[in-house]
Amino acid sequence: MFSLLKKFGYIILSMSLMAHWLQAKEWDLGDRSLVEDFGMGIVGQKLDIYDPDALSEWVLKTYYRKKYNRTHDDEFEFDSAKQWALEAFKKRISMLRLPSKNDHFNLYLNARFGKYDFKHQRFPVKALTEDSYLTYGGEGKIVSYYQGSKLTFENVDSEKNFIYMKKDQAKRFISKRKSSGGWVDRKLIIHYVYTLQNAKENREFDPGNSEMTIDFTGKIKYMEIMDSSRKTIIQRIDFNDEQKKSEEGKE
């Protein structure tokens, strides 16, 4: 069972105690169906707080529209259809397969690097900072389709937003990105690999009236600074070891 803590009107989903895990799969919150599944998981753990008649009608109308249209004028058929829909909804919830706290999520962001710092022998990179967040949407059934759900990270470190290179290597790095007209292509891709630590309902779901938004909290495992084609890893920075910085695929 999911472990839930009610606090200040929020329902907090404990990722560490989720019931169904998929192993060795990489996840992406850009998948609206996955965000929607998180919302369904939250709803599934507080079914008893909703008005059962309102919830069952919402389920029937949302997921089984043809059956809703066929039965809603006959109150007896409609009542039976609603009960059937609610049981089907509970079964759908029981079959959810959500990621575990240890499963890896992927995030690719466009970025740029600045001019070389000769004193510290590094290029600054515009990447995630302590104030950064990303927005996501669900499918518009339980979780809002609009980008109202947010992902923040508990361990962002601006001091990691650098490419470290000796002067001669940095000069070659720039030379390879320089056009005939003297323009330097400073575009990069940053690949973040992270785990989800928490998924908490922000705006609460109200059947037929309002859609949920979710606050996700992630923990970065490592970041890979890549060229814009994603073919070359310029530098990998491990967030679990403050001293570890490895370079791969140096240009």
Tens digit of each residue's pLDDT (9 = 90 or more) over 55-89: 999 999 999 999 999 999 999 999 999 999 999 99
Q: Which pLDDT score is estimated for 25?
A: 64
> 196 and 99 in contact (C-beta within 8 Å)?
yes
Please check whether residue 37 lies inside any domain of the structure.
yes
Please check whether residue 251 lies inside any domain of the structure.
no
Please check whether residue 108 lies inside any domain of the structure.
yes
> 223 and 239 in contact (C-beta within 8 Å)?
yes
The C-alpha atoms of residue 32 and residue 21 are separated, in whole angstroms, by 19
Give tens-digit pLDDT for 133-185: 999 999 999 999 999 999 999 999 999 999 999 999 999 999 999 988 889 99
For the chain, how many structural domains are there in total?
A: 1
Q: What is the mean pLDDT of residues 5-15?
A: 34
Q: Which pLDDT score is estimated for 1?
A: 29
Please check whether residue 14 lies inside any domain of the structure.
yes
Give tens-digit pLDDT for 83-110: 999 999 999 999 999 998 889 999 999 9
The C-alpha atoms of residue 236 and residue 251 are separated, in whole angstroms, by 14
> 209 and 144 in contact (C-beta within 8 Å)?
no
Contacts of 93 (CB under 8 A, 6+ apart): 40, 41, 43, 44
Residues 214-217: contacts with CB under 8 Å, at least 24 apart: 214/35, 214/38, 214/39, 214/42, 214/138, 214/143, 214/149, 214/150, 215/149, 215/150, 215/152, 216/29, 216/38, 216/136, 216/149, 216/150, 216/151, 216/152, 217/151, 217/152, 217/153, 217/154
Residue 9 has pLDDT above 70, yes or no: no
Give tens-digit pLDDT for 193-210: 999 999 999 999 999 999
CA atoms within 13 A on the CB side of 182: 0
Please check whether residue 209 lies inside any domain of the structure.
yes
Domain assignment of residue 121, given as a range: 3-246
Residue 212 has pLDDT above 70, yes or no: yes
Distance of CA 83 to the CA centre of its chain: 33
Q: Which pLDDT score is estimated for 180?
A: 86
Q: What is the mean pLDDT of residues 106-129?
A: 96
Q: Which pLDDT score is estimated for 73?
A: 96
Q: Which pLDDT score is estimated for 26?
A: 74
Q: Which pLDDT score is estimated for 250?
A: 46
User: Among candidates 155, 175, 178, which has minimal Cα distance to 165?
Assistant: 175
Q: Which pLDDT score is estimated for 109?
A: 96
Give tens-digit pLDDT for 16-27: 333 333 344 679
The pTM for the full model equals 0.81
